[in-house]
């Protein structure tokens, strides 16, 4: 049974994921061991391998996570650049896929208190897009919206429950110390973000 070790120590998003994809495409190992020292990379790599049909386990020793993956009976083709392990659009929304790209937890410039109110109103109004709303991508300061203590987290949970997938930048969560506080959406990486923008029929960027 083939086993390959991939050293991703020191790599930042999305390098670990790209390294794993390359190994799976070229060698299709039955067993894989991946070493990462970035918690966001741990989540992304584990999720990616799970989607590819591997049974995944991880352990941490002295700040280094070791991800052990064994090919299971549910193995599927390796996700390609346009087939990332993000939730697929529902059949109702396949005709028109709108991605909302958020880079701040406030809307507009001038006054942050006003900006926070405008963002709250914006999120509460997004359901008007109906099934066209495919994904909401949160990067930089917008990841604060997905934290447990955010006033807007319930609005995001409602959007997710209605069928929109919410991608929250893992590197950004880690930078702001919010990895453990994320309460909605899935931790993602820049490769997923770029792919989402590529597949969208329309991008609303704020």
Q: Which of 3.40.50.300, 3.60.10.10, 3.40.50.2300, 3.30.110.40 would CATH assign to domain 3-71? A: 3.30.110.40
Q: What is the pLDDT of residue 92?
A: 40
Of 6, 10, 13, whose CA–CA distance to 179 is shortest? Answer: 13
Q: What is the dihedral of CA 44, 52, 65, 137, to 10 degrees?
A: 0
Question: What's the fold here for domain 91-205?
Answer: Hypothetical Protein Ychn; Chain: A, (3.40.1260)
Sequence-ordered list of residues with C-beta below 8 angstroms from that of 140, at least 6 positions apart, any chain:
103, 104, 169, 172
Burial class (CB in 10 A: 0-12, 13-18, 19+), 177: exposed
Of 77, 82, 44, whose CA–CA distance to 195 is shortest? Answer: 82
Averaged pLDDT, groups of 10, the chain, 206 residues long: 85 83 88 88 86 90 90 59 44 70 94 95 94 96 97 96 95 94 93 91 94
Domain boundaries, the chain: 3-71, 91-205
Q: What is the pLDDT of residue 47?
A: 85
């Amino acid at each position: 049974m083939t086993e390959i070790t991939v050293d991703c120590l020191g790599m930042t998003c999305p390098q670990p994921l790209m390294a794993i994809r390359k190994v799976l495409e070229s060698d299709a190992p039955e067993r894989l061991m991946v070493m990462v020292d970035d918690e966001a990379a741990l989540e992304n790599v584990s999720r990616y391998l799970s989607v590819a049909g591997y049974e995944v386990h991880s352990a941490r020793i002295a700040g280094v996570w070791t991800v052990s993956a064994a090919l299971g009976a549910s193995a599927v083709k390796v996700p390609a650049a346009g087939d990332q392990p993000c939730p697929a659009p529902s059949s109702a929304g396949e005709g028109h896929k709108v991605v909302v790209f958020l880079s701040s937890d406030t809307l507009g410039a001038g006054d942050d208190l006003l900006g926070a109110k405008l963002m709250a109103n914006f999120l509460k109004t997004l359901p008007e897009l109906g099934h066209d709303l495919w994904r909401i991508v949160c990067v930089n300061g917008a990841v604060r919206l997905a934290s447990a203590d955010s006033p807007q987290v319930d609005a995001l949970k409602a959007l997710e429950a209605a069928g929109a997938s919410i991608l929250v930048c893992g590197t950004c969560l880690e930078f702001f110390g919010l990895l453990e506080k994320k309460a909605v959406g899935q931790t993602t990486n820049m490769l997923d973000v770029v792919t989402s923008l590529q597949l969208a029929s329309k991008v609303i960027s704020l």
